[in-house]
Structures are given as structure tokens and as C-alpha cells.
Structure 1
Amino acid sequence: MSKSKHLLSSSLGKKLIMSLTGLFLCTFLIVHLAGNLQLFYDDQGKAFNDYAHFMTHFTPIRIVSYLLYASIVIHAIYALLLTIHNRKARPVSYAVYRGSENSAWSSRNMGILGTVLLVFIVTHMSNFWWKYHNDGVPYIEYRTDLATQETTVTELIGDEYTDYVKYIDNDVEVLKAKDLYKQVQFTFKNWLLVAFYVLAMAALSFHLIHGFKSAFQTLGFDHRKYAPVIRFLGIWLFGVVIPIAFAAMPLYFYFSS
């Protein structure tokens, strides 16, 4: 037991925890992106609102969401602990830092990048997660004719609409749900917020390019057989595709109307 405690409190132990929580967060990014891509559907938010309810009410996903919140907190805390440990280990900076020539900019600025992302997470959750869970978004009704697939939309006003309802009424599919899609539309009309989201996605890109590769190195997957695949995924999937896709969402809503 003492050996386990010593490992977790050591620099290597902290890096292991950082790696595991970081890779878990990378997995979440893929799932989150897949769901949020429904924002681009031309259905007045029906698919996205349906997805939002499923993600917040399906019990297994709700359990995973608590693990997600814990991972974010643990990842941030251990990043701070590692930074403090490294500074204590070398309290006086070298007069000339020659390592910068051989190290990536992102690896030397992970603290700054992480801070930007932490501010982004708090901002993002206050705009969407908090308002969704505390009746800060309106309700909407979709009525889809199953024969023609035509959908009519009505904004619901009144305290009597407080839950998600989906049923069939005379060959018409009726869906009443919280309109998180409208909240997204409203939020991304603020150009300062859109600019901050794009900046945060740039920070995410640099953070993941270095962090994804470093996590596998810490876990021992640094063999030349795996390194090219890990490097490819870190740069192109997590460093390019995912951040650009997330950044496209606020830009799409800002310029769409």
C-alpha cells in the first residue's frame, strides 16, 4: 500500500494520472464532436435537441459524465502540482535556455494552453450545461408528418412545459424538448465569445499535439512500431480535425444569419 502511495505522489505517478485522465478526455472529445455535428443538420435543431436530452438523461452516460467532470478537475490539479514540482526542482532558471531549440513551442507552454482551456471549459459549461440544467433555455415543439416528413416548429411558452415528451399522434411524430439549439444560436451571435471559442480551439490544438504523444510515452508506448501512428493521430486527428470542427460551429452560427 505504501508503495502505491509513493508512486502516486511521485513525479512519475503524477504523470501517469495526467496521461490516463488526458486520454479519457481525448475519447470524450470524439464522442462530443460526433453529437455536436448534429448542429449542422437542416432540421431547426430537432436532432440536436433530441441528442441533448439523451446525453443528459440516459443513466450510463450520466455516470460517465461524472467521471468526465472528475477527470477535468484531477487533470488540472495534477498539472498544477507537476508545474510546482518542476519549479522547485529548478528554482533558478538557466541564463540561456538551450533546450528550446529542440523542444516544441507547445511543450514549453502547456501551462498557458491549459489555463486558456480551463477558462474555456468554465465559460462553455456556464453558457450551455448550467442553463440547460437550470431551466435557462426555452421549450420547443416539433410536429413531423410521417407521410411527408414535413416538420412544423412551435416555441412553447409557459411553466407547464417542463419535461421531454415524444409520441405519435395520428401519423404525426410530436417532440417537445428543451431548445438548446436556440441557446447555441443566441450565444454565438456574440463576436467576442466566438473569437474566444476559436482562440480556445487553437489552444486545444497545440495542447493535444503535445499532450497526446506525451501521454503514450509516459505509458510506455514509445516503441518505433507505434510512434508513427500515435504521432499521426496526435497531429491530424486531435491537433487538426477535432479543433477545426469545433471551431466551425460558433463560426457557422455567427455568419449564418
Structure 2
Amino acid sequence: MLVMVLIGGLLGYLVGGPLGLLVGGGLGYWLARRIRRGIVGRLAAVQTQFLESTFAVMGCMCKADGQVSEDELEASRQLWDRLRLSEPQRAKARADFTRGKSADFDLDAELAKLRPIVGSQPALRQVFLQVQLAAIAADGELHSAEHEMLMRVVRGLGCSEAEVAQIEAMLRGATEGGGATTHEVSLEDAYQVLGVESDASDAEIKRQYRRLMSENHPDKLAAKGLPDNMREVAKERTSEIGNAYDRIRKARAAETA
């Protein structure tokens, strides 16, 4: 904002002298406020859409096998608690969840609303998918219809083949862990979670780990549209990355011991 005021003031002074300085500075301040309000407004709209789609797709995912289990309902309620939603926000989340599990829900249309938000942001996509994973893994059982629906969502969001492999690895870990998203992953899945080959060098793996940790930092994701309520979910994603990296380091250390 200060930069805009200074630029406006300087241009005003060059055109109209001292009086132009005041007028230009005022115009710079007014313009800066308009730009800032526009940015804040767009970010709020993005965050709202992210939450709406999260709960609507969750409802659709949970209904994929024909019925929503009590475990899945409890998982959704626990998520609302973790997100510390206010009562109006909880009511909206319930409405979106119900909308998602209705027979006439258009999943492709919902993904089309979300794709512009997460399309170029792999880390933001991962947080969204982390929530869906937790929901369908809540009962500790993965039905083929749920897996098929998840892959439809993954591809509908424009995920690469490498991301698909990461999601598959996270899905195996979540179901084997009884719905938990932080656990001891297998070595093969650890490589998939980091998105590296098993023959990658230690230096390559460390670089990839640091890159993923940086990209998935909650503050960076918030600037890209992640609602503040979902910071805890973002932290789970970084825990998943950290677990995978530790699993690989331990395995390689054991091999050289």
C-alpha cells in the first residue's frame, strides 16, 4: 500500500507540484485499498468453494458403496470438530455433505468448480484428497466402488500419474492403519509418497523431501486458497511426508550397517 501511495504522490508531484503530490498520494492510497479488497474477496471466495466441494465430494465418496456407514458419519463429525467450525459453518457442512450423497449429485460439475482452484496447485490437491481418504478409510475397509470413485475424483482434478501413485500409497496406508493418516508406511509406499524411484540417490530424496515440505507448508497453502480451518489437515500431510522420509532413511541406514 505504501508503494502505491509513494508512486501516486511522485507522479502527482511531477504533473502538478505540491498539490499534485497530495492528490496523487490520495489516489494511490484509494487504488491500493481497492486492489487489496479485491484480492481478499477473491481469496475468501476460493476458500468458500474449497470447503463446499470438500464436504460435498466427501458425501459422494461415502455413498459410493451404496450407503453411508456410521463410521463414515462419525469421521465427518470428527472432521468438523477438528476444523473448529462454528454452528453456522457446521450446518453448511452438513448441507453440503447431504447434497453430495444425494442421488442427483453431479460429481463432475463439482470437480469442475474445484479444478480452477487446485489445478495448478498439487499441494492443495493433496490436502483435499487427504480429507477424502480419511473419510472412506474410517471403517477400515475399502470397497471397490469407493476406490473407483476416488480414482474418478483424482483424475477429475487433473492429477498426474505420479500423483495417482502417491494417492494409491496413501490409501493403502490409511486403510491398513484403520483410518489413521499418520502411520508406519511400507518402504515401497514411502517412495511413492515422496514421488521418487527406489534407486534415487540420498541427495535426490533429501531434495524432494525438502521441496514437498516447503510446498505443503500451511502458510503457503493458505495464501493459495486453503481455508484457515484446514491447517490441521495440511499438517497431517506434512506428517505423511515426514513419515515416508524417515522410513526410507531408516531402511537405507540398516542396509549399510
| TM-score for the superposition, normalised by structure 1 | 0.31
User: Per residue, is there more strand in 1 or in 2?
Assistant: 1
| TM-score for the superposition, normalised by structure 2 | 0.31
User: Per residue, is there more helix in 1 or in 2?
Assistant: 2
Higher RCO by CA contacts (8 Å cutoff, separation 6 or greater): 1
